[in-house]
Structure 1
Amino acid sequence: MADPLHVEVVSATRVVWSGEATNIIAKTTDGDMGILPGHEPVLAILVAGAIQVYCPDATREIFAVDGGFISVAHGRVSILSEYAATATEVSLREAEKELAEARARLDAGEDDEDTRQHFAWASAQIRAAEKLRL
């Protein structure tokens, strides 16, 4: 069996998580991407959503990201996003409230970058919290 991947999830303000993984599932602009040890080098654009990291001890870490990039090279995976959080840090109730507020602003015609980003981040947090329950 190949050595586990070394993974870092990094936001603009902190290293959210660092550890080893046997498998990663992330959603990119080209669709879902699965990453296993020995994966070819790649740089891809992430879409807002939940990233699943399967660890060697059979646990699973889930992260909400608002987009960003994923880089895979030489057994190292870097997930870089302006906003990122572990699913356990997410308050589902707060995320649902933020999503409703952003949706109301969009429905009222406030289709600006800030509102779209707020909507995407709230949606990503909800997806991560929901995956945590599965």
Structure 2
Amino acid sequence: MADAGFPIDVVSVEQRLYSGQASFVIAQTTEGELGILKNHEPLLGQLVPGGFVMIEQTDGTRRVAAVEGGFLSVTGDSVTVLAESAEWARDIDVDAARADLEKFEEGSPGHDRALARIRAVEQLAQEK
């Protein structure tokens, strides 16, 4: 019987991007990149500007989302990502994201969002 994993929700201001079971999660926080497995110690982390979240589902499928701002909450039995914005890497137009990166000033919200989108696409490409 396969391990049930743990519940994870990825929620942005605009939508619930994901709700399901995961066996492993990686998130970029202000304290560094965190890897989370089932029964992880509880923690609350601030997501970095321009970061990503990788979810390995219990069936082995990996999904990567660009996330902008917000928090990661880990309890003993679940993970919640509360982001200002979030979108799947597979849905990102990387050329447009690169153009935005050049267009916006470093440290601005537009620059951070473009950086998050590019990092998510790069992380997804590493998985293939």
- Encode CA deviations 1:79-114: one digit per residue, 9 max, x unaligned: 0111100111111011111111014xx5xxxxxxxx
For 1:34 and 1:24, locate their aligned partners in 2 and report how far apart those are by CA, in whole Å: 6
Counterpart residue identity of residue 90, structure 1: I
- Which has a greater percent of helix? 1
Counterpart residue identity of residue 120, structure 2: A
Identity level (%): 36
For 2:9 and 2:96, locate their aligned partners in 1 and report how far apart those are by CA, in whole Å: 26
* Residue of structure 1 in register with 2:6 after alignment: 5
Confirm or deny that 1:41 pairs with 2:58. Answer: no
Counterpart residue identity of residue 123, structure 1: L
Confirm or deny that 1:54 pairs with 2:56. Answer: yes
* Residue of structure 1 in register with 2:25 after alignment: 24
For 2:33 and 2:13, locate their aligned partners in 1 and report how far apart those are by CA, in whole Å: 24
Indicate if the aligned counterparts of 1:2 and 1:38 stay in contact, CA closer than 8 A.
no
Moved more, 115-124 or 56-65: 115-124
The SS at the match of 1:81 is strand
- The TM-score normalised by the length of structure 2 is 0.90
* Residue of structure 2 in register with 1:96 after alignment: 98
* Residue of structure 1 in register with 2:118 after alignment: 126
> Which stretches of structure 1, 4 residues or more, deviate above 6 A after TM superposition?
none
Indicate if the aligned counterparts of 1:27 and 1:49 stay in contact, CA closer than 8 A.
yes
Counterpart residue identity of residue 64, structure 2: I
- Encode CA deviations 1:44-79: one digit per residue, 9 max, x unaligned: 101031111111111101010112100011311110
Instruction: List runs of 5+ in structure 2 lacking aligned partners.
Output: none
- The TM-score normalised by the length of structure 1 is 0.86
Counterpart residue identity of residue 83, structure 2: S
- Which has a greater percent of strand? 2
Q: How many residues align?
A: 124
* Residue of structure 2 in register with 1:110 after alignment: none
For 1:11 and 1:43, locate their aligned partners in 2 and report how far apart those are by CA, in whole Å: 17
Indicate if the aligned counterparts of 1:9 and 1:80 stay in contact, CA closer than 8 A.
yes
The SS at the match of 2:104 is helix
For 1:31 and 1:131, locate their aligned partners in 2 and report how far apart those are by CA, in whole Å: 16
Indicate if the aligned counterparts of 1:72 and 1:78 stay in contact, CA closer than 8 A.
yes
